[in-house]
Amino acid sequence: MSEYFTVETMTKICFDEPFGCLDIDGGRHDTLQTVQRIVMWGEITANVPLMQHLLSWALIFNTLEYSLARELSKFNSLAKRIVVKRFSEVGDLTTTNVKSDKHGDMLEGFMNRGFSQRLCELQVPVQLTTGTETTATAIRSTLLHIITPPEVYRKLKDEIDDAIANGKISSPIKFREAKELPYVVAVVYEGLRMHPPFSGLLMKLVPPEGYTYSDGRFIPGGTIIGQNTWDAMRDPEIFSDDANIFRLDRFIKAASEL
């Protein structure tokens, strides 16, 4: 359900056209299955750089993941149809000073900033794959940690109920209003810490001149480095000896010390 919700949310935000995942199991375009497989291969290639080279070989790609190649083709075709339809409505804004305000979505924002039709076609799939499966993972894992200890669920519910009763939040809640709810903020932060939604190493290339850390360690230029988010989020030196425990006080206390 969380995955259907995030696909619906992102398609509405991206191009004002929900895919119907909450109405039809899987939605009208089988978007969820394609996104899941893209994210899976994204995680693999992010952690095993060799796989990037292997997947670039058309023969191996078609042999190992021919069905994924077909799904990607359908995915890109869908994005193209959406963008072509939008450009046919308002025209190419790269040659005019006219701004569109009909939809209020990300695609309209791209167009108003002068993105070409081709660039918009490339951006739409990116928005879908980066904001659906990972967000759903964060929602599921955080909900699990909320409902497991009854006192966490009770305190969270009490804070939200109190904010509603005192007119502190509107419907739908605004980001600035949510930031004023310390327990809600702590739940979000601790949920993301306990289960980071993306485990890729997010490789970076050290510039040619190299880089020197404050403690004197030197990293030669051209070195590929990555971060192990899971390990960092469970590091006892950062989050104390109970780093493997869902404990909201660590963020509530940190916020009070700022």
Average pLDDT, the chain: 83
Phi, psi of 130, deg, nearest 5: -90, -15
Contact 39, 129 (CB under 8 A): yes
- Residue 60's pLDDT band, with cuts at 50, 70 and 90, is low
d(CA 137, CA 194): 12
pTM, entire model: 0.75
Average pLDDT over residues 136-161: 94
Q: Which of 86-95, 116-125, 141-150 has the highest mean pLDDT?
A: 141-150
Integer Cα distance of 201 and 184 in angstroms:
28
The rounded distance, in Å, linking the Cα atoms of 134 and 255 is 26
CB 234 within 8 Å of CB 255: no
Q: Report pLDDT digits (tens) over 109-125.
A: 888 888 888 888 888 87
CA distance 147 to 160: 15
Per-residue pLDDT reduced to its tens digit, 162-201 = 999 999 999 889 999 999 999 999 999 999 999 998 877 8
Confidence grade of residue 28 (pLDDT, cut at 50, 70, 90): low
Residue pair 203/49 in contact (Cβ under 8 Å)? The answer is: yes
